[in-house]
Amino acid sequence: MHGDWAAIEGDGLWFILGRSDDTIKVAGKRLGPAELEAAALDGGSVAEAAAVGVPDAIKGQAVVVFVVARQGVDPSTIPAEVSRRIERSLGKPFRPLGVHVIPRLPKTRNGKILRRVIRSVFLGEPPGDLSSLDDPSVLDPIRRLAAARAAAGQDPAAPAAD
């Protein structure tokens, strides 16, 4: 089991579509994080984005997006802007329940975003193997966000206040 989603065309060509563990299923609709992230990056105020699915009692999963603001951009405007862009591009079911601006996204030494780690830390779950993480301190803002939400008695899938 390699964990990749792939499609085989009629002519026998294979296309890798993404990781199956990254796929987000909202109200029965499957979507890769790349589509959500492309919509988040569309406005120019976001330098990087990572979309994850979190448990949701009604939809099965809900979308939460973590973004890094471009230099010189007011981060307070980004959550509403990104939510509107995603809703406009992909539809209301995919409107994020939370958009969180953080200084950096956790990545491997090769620059791959570790969505699995973001999701686990945000949900307060063990993050698993972190040996490929280039800088463990980048998880601190996500841990603080999760701790603040837990202290306030908020479910991680509840709409974010920011």
Show the tokens assigned to 13.
Answer: 């060509």
Show the tokens assigned to 69.
Answer: 């603001």
Confidence of residue 87 (pLDDT cuts 50, 70, 90): very high
- Determine which one of 21, 135, 140, 162 is catalytic: 21
What is the model's pLDDT at position 158?
A: 53
Measured N-to-C along each axis, helices 33-41 and 78-90 cross at an angle, to the nearest 10 degrees, of 120
All domains of the chain in start order, with CATH: 23-151 (3.30.300.30)
Give residues with Cβ within 8 angstroms of 90, minimum separation 6.
31, 35, 36, 39
Nearest of 46, 55, 152 to residue 100 by alpha carbon: 46
Residue 155 CA: distances (Å) to CA of 51, 79, 80, 91, 127:
18, 19, 20, 24, 18
Reported as a single tens digit per residue, the pLDDT across 88-144 is: 999 999 999 999 999 999 999 989 999 999 999 999 999 999 999 999 999 999 999
Reported as a single tens digit per residue, the pLDDT across 32-50 is: 899 999 999 988 899 999 9
Asked if 21 is an active-site residue, the reply is yes
What is the model's pLDDT at position 136?
A: 95
* Residues 92, 94, 98, 99, CA torsion sign: negative
What does pTM read for this prediction? 0.83
